[in-house]
Chains A and B, each alone.
Chain A
Amino acid sequence: MSSRALSERPRLRSPGRMKYDKARQTELLLLPERVVELNEAAGAILRLCDGQRTIVQMIGELETKYGQSGLENDIVEFLAASADRGWIE
């Protein structure tokens, strides 16, 4: 994934799903035998992994959402780690 082009459209790997958990007030990644509690940034990135958006589009949306620029490296790094863990494809 580290070599993944910014034009790629990552998606959550089936059968994983996202859930906003009201009891903990946090985003969760739900996997068949595991639940991963995500911090806000991780949750926001994975929410955009829908197989429709390119990584470039994701970066643009997140920079707008948080009113920051220069997020590209962090986002690409997180996506690479997520792919290594089998969360996205």
Chain B
Amino acid sequence: MPVSLPYALTAELTHRCPLRCPYCSNPVELQKKENELPTDMWLNVLEQASELGVAQIHFTGGEPLLRPDLERLVRRARELDLYVNLITSGVGLTDQRASRLAEAGVDSIQLSVQAASAELADSIAGFPAHELKRQAARRIRAAGLPLHMNVVLHRANLHLLGEIVELCASWGAERLELANAQYYGWAMRNIRQLLPRREQLQEAEAAYARAQERFGDRIELLWILPDYYEEFPKPCMGGWGQLSLTVAPDGRVLPCTAASDIQTLSFENVKERELAWIWRDSPSFNAYRGYDWMPEPCRSCERRELDYGGCRCQAFLLTGDARAADPVCVRSPHRGIVADRVHAAAHGDAGLSVYSYRGR
């Protein structure tokens, strides 16, 4: 199968973060500061990525503002004519930092929010961040940058969806991602506290439709589906090693941010290998390209070109075999694993939110 060129690179500059969200997309094994790539290696990664065909960089973490070299990396990315997106909690975004980042050439900033009220938001984040986010939103706009926001939706905040949209609109957001939690790493540890009931989701979808009507002309709303409640899996990452890649804080190169969960694969590192080789030739990036690796029921399924068998990380986490059909699929022999969790959510205690927080 011919290898396509990647459009986007997610640069996880650090796993350090003042927030401790119970659904954090970082792996459970967080990289320490001393393992982070130094500035010159990140600069080199940007150059290699641009050469390889990457057009867009997402600087994220952890909290990328904890890297004092962030402005320098942004500036270099813009010199290479890359589109620069910064994904941040907003904590640490002073007036000065916001204007320096704008001046360095950030194209857009995505600010996270946890809930509509400070009390709930701070209990979800495990840190008093909400007021700092409000200030960050103002600073982003004052620096002349478009404000994009995201919220991860789960059991404790789904019923507040209307208020969350209203809050983001009042902060001046032009775009808001309403992302239902996905159950990997930290979110899997906290699934009992996070996974909503079906009725909750249906109410939230109705609230989403109302918000579209009310705010749709002011703010672009995106609804990211809760895949446990779907019949068929998501076309994860547009296929393994097809559109984008992630460089983790320690320099390992992954087909997606959750891929380090797949313990049966080993991932190459930019300290040892060229990015182009890793993308084109490494065993990890080629492991699930195309269709030849698929066992049944995916192998003979007419949907395989729509969803590529779903998510490899989810298949590994739930079945122990990364080649298996994503258990979200009704045709998967392991669908019962997802059904059991959905059943447990329906009968669990909705009020209890004692999270397993990540360390800092």
Q: Which residues of A contact B (CB under 8 A)?
A: 14-15, 17, 19, 21, 23-24, 28, 30-33, 35, 86
Q: Is B95 close to A, CB under 8 A?
A: no
Measured between C-beta atoms, what is the minimum distance from B75 to chain A in Å?
16
In this complex, the member of A30, A35, A86 whose beta carbon has the largest number of chain B beta carbons within 10 angstroms is: A30
Is residue B7 contacting chain A, with contact meaning CB distance below 8 A? yes
B262 at interface (Cβ–Cβ under 8 A)?
no
User: Of B5, B51, B81, B85, which contacts A32 at CB under 8 A?
Assistant: B85
- Determine the residue in chain A with the shortest Cβ distance to B58: A33
Nearest chain B CB to A51's CB is how many angstroms away? 16
Contacts of B36 in A (CB 8 A): none
B5 to chain A: closest residue by CB: A23
Q: What is the CA–CA distance of A86 and B52 in the complex, to the nearest angstrom?
A: 28
Interface residues of B (CB under 8 A from A): 5, 7-8, 51-53, 55-56, 81, 83, 85, 107-108, 110, 145-146, 148, 175, 220
User: Which residue of A24, A28, A32, A35 is within 8 Å of B107 (Cβ)?
Assistant: A32
Report 18 cross-chain contacts, Cβ distance below 8 Å, ordered by A residue. Answer: A15-B107, A15-B145, A17-B83, A17-B107, A19-B55, A19-B83, A23-B53, A28-B55, A30-B56, A30-B83, A31-B83, A32-B83, A32-B85, A32-B107, A32-B148, A35-B8, A35-B55, A35-B56
A21 touches B55 (CB 8 A): yes
Are B53 and A24 within 8 A (Cβ)? yes
Decide: A32 and B55 in contact? CB cutoff 8 A.
no
Contacts of A15 in B (CB 8 A): 107-108, 145-146
Please give me the residue from chain B that is nearest to A20 by CB atom. Answer: B81
Complex Cα gap A35–B83 (Å)? 9
Closest to A33 in B: B85
Contact check, B220 vs A86: say whether CB atoms are below 8 A apart: yes
Q: Which residues of B contact A24 (CB under 8 A)?
A: 5, 53
Q: Complex Cα distance A21/B8, Å?
A: 13
Q: Could you tell me if A32 and B110 are in contact, using CB atoms closer than 8 angstroms? A: yes
Report whether A32 and B53 are in contact in the complex, using a CB–CB cutoff of 8 Å.
no
**Bound complex: CA of A28 vs CA of B51, how far in Å?**
15
> CA separation between A28 and B83, bound complex, in Å?
11
